[in-house]
Chain A
Amino acid sequence: DTGVSQDPRHKITKRGQNVTFRCDPISEHNRLYWYRQTLGQGPEFLTYFQNEAQLEKSRLLSDRFSAERPKGSFSTLEIQRTEQGDSAMYLCASSLGQGDSGELFFGEGSRLTVL
């Protein structure tokens, strides 16, 4: 059983550099979500895809953040000109789609440390 996979698991970068995270959802899942989780907090919604269409973006997603899901399969989250405040765990989740149970399946996350 292949779950949601994320890569890399941990990224350390210097302030001002660009980073990209990849998420591979469960294969038959149409919906894909990105969340950000900082220490001691619950995950905060960033953005949502239905197949290849990005249908919702949080105000947390500044202009330095961009997400894509070409062909409705894997997704990438890029952060440009990283800042120390971007240090967090970035979680990807997927779900089957309309009519499902509402459950989201999460990956193990990509931890970003900005020095």
Chain B
Amino acid sequence: AQTVTQSQPEMSVQEAETVTLSCTYDTSENNYYLFWYKQPPSRQMILVIRQEAYKQQNATENRFSVNFQKAAKSFSLKISDSQLGDTAMYFCAFSLSGATNKLIFGTGTLLAVQP
């Protein structure tokens, strides 16, 4: 069975600074996807960034980038130039490639961006 662990329940960062959210996972499979989803207060969950396990290059999306360490089963999210709108719960998630797309989530990290 796959598991996803987020060890930081809460994080705080000053506006315009950089913050890194941690995530580790456990699987015996070789082909899978990893995701970071953002859930703003009282709003729907949206995809921030996605990584395919077979790709060695780390994914980037504007101010968001990941550090994917497959051997260590680590998948951290770096947010650069933090903005007030980045305040949200961030969930790390895992799914198997070529399967049902069912996501397995971590417990989340609540990020607060301070003005």
Contact = CB atoms under 8 A, between A and B. Distances in A.
Interface stretch (B13-21, B45-53, B64-72): B45-53
Nearest to A108: B44
Contact of A42 (B100, B101, B105): B105
Given A102-B50, A103-B35, A45 B104 contact: yes
Interface in A21-65: 31, 33, 40-45, 48, 50, 55-56
A98 B101 CA distance: 9
A100 B108 contact: no
B102 A48 contact: yes
Contacts of A104: 47, 101, 103
B68 to A, nearest CB: 15
B105 A56 contact: no
B45 A91 contact: yes
Contacts of A103: 35, 47, 50
Interface residues of A, number: 27
Contacts of B91: 42-43
Interface in B69-115: 91, 93, 95, 97-98, 100-108
B101 A102 contact: yes
B50 A31 contact: no
Contacts of A106: 37, 44-46
Interface in A48-95: 48, 50, 55-56, 91, 93, 95
B43 interface: yes
Contact of A45 (B33, B97, B103): B103
A54 to B, nearest CB: 12
A50 B108 CA distance: 28
Contacts of B37: 106
Interface of A: 3-4, 31, 33, 40-45, 48, 50, 55-56, 91, 93, 95, 98, 100-104, 106-109
Interface of B: 4, 6, 9, 33, 35, 37, 42-47, 50, 91, 93, 95, 97-98, 100-108
